Amino acid sequence: MIHRARSKGYDEETRRVIRPYLQYVMTKPAIYVKGNLNIVNGVVSSDVETFKIGRLSVGSDQLSQFDYALESYIAYVIGPPRLVIRNVSLQDGQCALEGDIPKQVAFAP
């Protein structure tokens, strides 16, 4: 956090003042998600029931925004390495996957 404050241009005096309070800030909180995720013919859909950052629950009115972000991220992840996923179902802690996974993937910048 102090490095971020430095990169944002806060002077040393300001950083000195906030330093004692950083112990109360979660800098790497655990993220908990409960719901269903499906990929059918390359189309991602999700239904998030619960989303928590640390111990804080995200309100139910915000879950649809998280659904969209999760679907976009999963679509991005499965796209580049020619991973062919025909169907995926994540429900009740179980994963069923039907597709082709490449034996080797090389990423180029």
pLDDT at position 109 = 43
Q: Is residue 16 part of a domain?
A: no
Residue 42 lies in a domain: yes
Banded model confidence at residue 11, pLDDT cuts 50, 70, 90: confident
Burial of 51 (0-12, 13-18, 19+ CB in 10 A): buried
Residue 13 lies inside a defined structural domain of this protein: no
Note whether residue 14 is domain-resident: no
44 HSE (CA, 13 A, CB side):
16
Q: Give a yes or no: residue 50 inside a domain.
A: yes
Range of the domain at 88: 29-100
- 88 Cβ contact partners less than 8 Å away, ≥ 6 residues apart: 37, 38, 39, 40, 95, 96, 97, 98, 99
- pLDDT higher than threshold 60 for residue 108: no
d(C-alpha 84, C-alpha 81), whole Å: 9
Count: domains in the chain: 1
Which pLDDT value is given to residue 53? 84
Answer whether residue 3 shows pLDDT above 70: no
| Structural domain includes residue 18 | no
What pLDDT, on the 0 to 100 scale, is given for residue 2? 58
Asked if the structure places residue 66 within a domain, the reply is yes
User: Do the beta carbons of residue 46 and residue 37 sit within 8 Å?
Assistant: yes
pLDDT in tens, 36-87: 888 887 788 888 888 888 888 888 888 888 888 888 877 776 665 566 778 8
